[in-house]
Amino acid sequence: MNCTRRSFLQGSLATLFVGGLNLPLLAASVKKNLVIISLRGGMDGLTAVPVIGDPKIKSYRSELLLDQKLKLNSDFGFHPKLSTLHNLWKIGKASVVHATSIPYTQRSHFDGQNLMETGGLVPYREKTGWLGRGLKLANLDGSGLALTLPMPLLLRGIEQNNNFYPAHNTMPRIEIVKKLRAAYEGASEEKLLNIIDVIMNRPLTMQGGDQSLDSLSKKASKILQDPLGPRIAVFDIEGFDTHSGQGNDEGGHADKLEEIDMIIKNLYEGLGKEFDNTLILTLTEFGRTVEQNGGYGTEHGYGSAILMAGGLLKKSQVLTDWPGLNKLFEQRDLQSTIDARGVYASAMSAVLDLEFEQIKKNVFWNSDISNFSEQLFKT
Amino acid sequence: MNNYFRKVGFGLSYKETIPEDPLKWATDQFNSLPPLSWSEKLPSVEDQREIFRQYVTEKEKIQEKFGKDAMIYEKELNKLRHQKGQNFFQAFELSIRHHNALNNGAPAFERMWHFWGNHFSLSNKDFISDWHYGPYMREAIRPSMDKTFEEMVVEVTTSWGMIHHLDNTDNIGPNSQEGRRENSDGDKRKVGLNENHGRELLELHTVSPAANYTQDDVINMAKVLTGWAKKWSKKNSWAGPLVFQPELHEMGQKNILGKSYNTKENKMTGNKQLFAVIKDLCNHKSCREFIAKKLCQHFITDEPSQEMIDPIIQAWVKSDGFLPEIHKATMKVAFEYGNKHKKFLMPEPWLIQNAKMLNFKHYWGPDRYVFKPGKIPPKRERNIQWILEDLGHPVFKPSQPNGFIDNEEEWTSPELMIRRMVYANQFQTYLKNIRRENQSTYDDEFFENIIYKNFSNPENALKTVFSANSTQNRFVMFANMPEVLKT
């Protein structure tokens, strides 16, 4: 394949306008779910979604090349551990945005993750997350659920989000919790009262289980099915920072991709027909260097990929404005040609039934981001 | 009034008598540095850097040898971790910290020590939490508490941990001797400024964004910091000692917040330049206001009024930033406003307060820790680490350089509140760590004793605790009642 930027562009344009089904607008009463999986440490887009047609990759990372690839089209494949995602691809429910990143090029995990969640341009300046602001705009108090212990920055900015991350030990007996509630009521502690009510009214689906991603994602699929329950779920996977032992078909990165695939599998199987009203989307703070380092790993880079699944996708596709491997960003990283925040805003537009322009203005401060709603999602 | 012992300390135990003059009780603790309750054989920053150096260099060998096979690589790496105590030292250091908070007789001082440790946070990078944070607290923070704020900033800014976690070793003057050589030698590696430390020194450590510094100020701050770096050598790899290296330092004039350095009039160059800049930052109005407000937020309320902040600023100006005076002024403001304002406690001080008042021991005594290379530490040794992690407050492992956020909103999500109930439900099991002769009898009189001593509104608190019957349930009620969650 001749991996020039132009041919990819034409390819994607050609496929984008073919067979655009004009589905009737979904009734506003349908509950749509958005599941975010934060991939912390910097996911290597070239391992998750390898570029098939570019022989140049071999000169950069001979030890990290995949033997097996799950073919998507003539240009790209999935890593073999993304088998559920590949099955979903075959039925039109998986997509990729490639060579994309938030507009941050300094390669610090902390700053990068902060910006990935706030959607801002200066680390630590914003105190709320883009999803929290989006939910606020849609007046969806209390509809966010984090499957993590601290409330992720991503969801901050709206009241009454819930989180579920079961502790190792047991709760006090219910009579004691009720007595505590009475104490809060007697002391007019409104905020504490509010929280203890959320805790006491937790449905059975939000009890038990453990902190494994397997258990959490099974729980989440039950919770998201509740028509009155949360419509946002946020997961965290750590450990993508493979400076060494990154591996290829097996290895450090493969293990992490397997975790993404497991979450998607559990959601697909657990959500049943609600999967059609769901969108799953990954975030990461940056990609990794194209070239392998001395420890059979990679360093912090720039462009990466966004993995998506769910019935709210328009169809299966790789959306990219492929920069090629000839011209790397700062001679080392995959270039990012799509501001990932445009994809985030478009996804929120599709799930929260808000106009893209409204989100662009109120959530992303009118930043120069592109609208992918038409291309990527059922609207 | 009795709230005060929890407001600035950890409360009074059932054995303690109520100090006659609470304010004097608090301020006296800042007259000199109180010794640690546990001070035998504590590792120093250099001890731990050496062990970390061994870890880093041996890990590189393992990477080279086994990097191709992820399974063997992980196995070898795990062996190395235990060999160097990666799973040992954090729990050991936490144990010392809590033993000290409960036993050294200067709880207000200890609270203040913890405050500074969080203000000058080392975010969790490259195992800083495991090997380095404890010694950093003892060597960079604690001795500075008897000096000026400026001296503390110098100490912290030039500490190994701060330089390491804010990437200042990568901050190299492009026009320095080394920068010019590296950028013209034809290979791919290029060096330049890294603004990370410079930005945080302004934003988090001293003047805060209220000073309205610009991106140019940040760049100039980064230039001033060039040269302060870990010394690379083949033996040390990237775990070398901290040395000021003039060959990395960007020469020329720097302008920060309207002042110029290294000019004809102000000839501060090299390593002295940083000291001159820190002096000016610490004398900046925004710095005093920022720190005074943060102190009020920690001890009194999330939203302090200017009236509370002003006396601390005045003490600062009058004493030229002498920390004992700033600390005493804070104690005084907390005394005056404490009863009218409530502060929601972060999990660690909440845990220590409960341990103190209920007389349980949630940690393994520091005297019982012995580091044996290669040995996997037993669970009971690491318990304190899990508790803090589960409560959401692993104090040596903040995820960001701004440390743990000290306001109510941060700590009142459902799952974090569940954790407090869950662990309060466990408190009774920690009684077994106390020798029988030192245990309390948890009768009504015991609860009356601690509640009258520690609460300004004892009647309500008593009613709440006595609404449950068993000791275990009374512990849960006690620890989670509003009077204990907030001080």
Cβ contact, residue pair B67, A183, below 8 Å:
no
pLDDT at B67: 80
Cβ contact, residue pair B390, A196, below 8 Å:
no
SS3 B227: coil
The Cα-based distances of B314 to A188, B151, B307, B326, B333 in angstroms read: 37, 19, 11, 9, 12
Partner A contacted by B124 (CB < 8 A): no
Angle, alpha carbons A91-A95-A101 (nearest 5°): 170
Partner B contacted by A202 (CB < 8 A): yes
The C-alpha atoms of residue B167 and residue B175 are separated, in whole angstroms, by 19
- DSSP output for A150-218: SPPGGGTTSTT-EE----SSPPPPHHHHHHHHHHHHHTT-HHHHHHHHHHHT--GGGSS--SSHHHHHH
Bridge partner residues of B260 (DSSP): B255
Contact list in A for residue B421 (CB cut-off 8 A) is 171-172, 177, 180
The Cα-based distances of A317 to A12, A13, A97, A284, B119 in angstroms read: 8, 11, 8, 20, 47
**Crossing angle (nearest 10°) for helices B471-480 and A174-186:** 40
Bridge partner residues of A320 (DSSP): A98
Residue in chain B lying closest to A187 (CA): B482
pLDDT at B409: 83
Mean pLDDT of chain B: 94
End-to-end CA distance of chain B: 11
Q: Which two tokens stand for residue B76?
A: 């070898």
Q: Which of A115, A147, A149 should one mutate to test binding to chain B, selecting the residue with the greatest count of B CBs within 10 A?
A: A149
The C-alpha atoms of residue B239 and residue A222 are separated, in whole angstroms, by 48
Closest CA of chain B from A316, distance in Å: 32
The C-alpha atoms of residue B100 and residue B93 are separated, in whole angstroms, by 11
The C-alpha atoms of residue A346 and residue B293 are separated, in whole angstroms, by 40
Residue in chain B lying closest to A183 (CA): B464
Partner B contacted by A63 (CB < 8 A): yes
The Cα-based distances of B461 to A359, B213, B319, B350 in angstroms read: 48, 48, 41, 16
The C-alpha atoms of residue B391 and residue B416 are separated, in whole angstroms, by 6
SS3 A282: strand
pLDDT at A15: 35
Total count of residues recorded for chain A? 379
Average pLDDT in the B145-152 region?
A: 98
Residue in chain B lying closest to A153 (CA): B410
The long-range contacts involving A60-64, CB below 8 angstroms and separated by at least 24 positions, are A60/A290, A60/A291, A60/A292, A60/A325, A61/A290, A61/A291, A61/A292, A61/A298, A62/A292, A63/A248, A63/A292, A63/A296, A63/B68, A64/A246, A64/A247, A64/A248, A64/A292, A64/A296, A64/A298
Contact list in B for residue A171 (CB cut-off 8 A) is 418, 421-422, 425
pLDDT at A158: 82
* Chain B 389-428, residues with CB within 8 Å of chain A CB atoms: 390, 392, 399-402, 408, 410, 412-419, 421-426
The C-alpha atoms of residue B305 and residue B297 are separated, in whole angstroms, by 10
- Residue in A117, A145, A142, A143 with CA at minimum distance from that of residue A220: A145
Q: Which of B392, B414, B464 sits opposite A198 (nearest CB)?
A: B414
Contact list in B for residue A172 (CB cut-off 8 A) is 421-422, 424-425, 473, 476
pLDDT digits (tens, 9 = 90+) for B434-483: 988 888 899 999 999 999 999 988 999 999 999 999 999 999 999 999 99
Residue in chain A lying closest to B478 (CA): A180
Closest CA of chain B from A191, distance in Å: 8
Partner B contacted by A295 (CB < 8 A): yes
Closest CA of chain A from B43, distance in Å: 29
Q: Which of A109, A163, A172 sits opposite B425 (nearest CB)?
A: A172
Cβ contact, residue pair A63, B68, below 8 Å:
yes
* Chain A 126-145, residues with CB within 8 Å of chain B CB atoms: none
Q: Are A301 and A290 in contact (CB under 8 A)?
A: yes
**Pairs across A and B, CB distance < 8 A:** 130
Contact list in A for residue B125 (CB cut-off 8 A) is 109
Partner A contacted by B465 (CB < 8 A): no
Partner B contacted by A193 (CB < 8 A): no
> For residue B258, what are the contacts with CB-CB under 8 A and spacing of at least 6?
none
Compute CA B437 distance to the chain's CA centroid, rounded to the nearest angstrom: 34
Cβ contact, residue pair A199, B401, below 8 Å:
no
Q: Which of B70, B125, B415 sits opposite A251 (nearest CB)?
A: B70
Number of neighbours of residue A250 by Cβ within 10 angstroms = 15
Cβ contact, residue pair B196, A251, below 8 Å:
no
Determine the residue type at A203: P
Total count of residues recorded for chain B? 487
Q: Which of B188, B425, B473 sits opposite A171 (nearest CB)?
A: B425
Average pLDDT per block of 10 residues along chain A, 379 residues long: 42 36 49 96 97 90 93 96 98 98 89 94 88 94 85 86 82 95 95 91 80 94 90 94 86 95 98 97 97 84 98 97 93 96 98 96 97 94
Closest CA of chain A from B248, distance in Å: 20
Q: Among A18-22, B70-74, B104-108, B410-414, where is mean pLDDT lowest?
A: A18-22
Residue A13 burial (10 A CB sphere; 0-12, 13-18, 19+): exposed
Closest CA of chain B from A377, distance in Å: 32
Q: Which of A173, A182, A296 sits opposite B67 (nearest CB)?
A: A296
Partner A contacted by B436 (CB < 8 A): no
- Between residues B192 and B7, the one the model is more confident about: B7
Q: Which of A146, A168, A191 sits opposite B412 (nearest CB)?
A: A191
Q: Are A38 and A235 in contact (CB under 8 A)?
A: yes
Closest CA of chain A from B419, distance in Å: 7
* Chain B 360-389, residues with CB within 8 Å of chain A CB atoms: 386
Partner B contacted by A235 (CB < 8 A): no
**Three-class secondary structure assignment of B263-309:** CCCCCCCHHHHHHHHHHHHHCCHHHHHHHHHHHHHHHCCCCCCHHHH
Cβ contact, residue pair A295, B399, below 8 Å:
no
Partner A contacted by B74 (CB < 8 A): yes
pLDDT at B188: 66
Number of neighbours of residue B48 by Cβ within 10 angstroms = 24
Contact list in B for residue A295 (CB cut-off 8 A) is 60, 63-64, 67
The C-alpha atoms of residue B52 and residue B86 are separated, in whole angstroms, by 9
What is the DSSP-derived secondary structure letter of residue B226? T
Partner B contacted by A192 (CB < 8 A): yes
Q: Which of B74, B386, B480 sits opposite A180 (nearest CB)?
A: B480
Cβ contact, residue pair B485, A192, below 8 Å:
yes
pLDDT at B264: 75
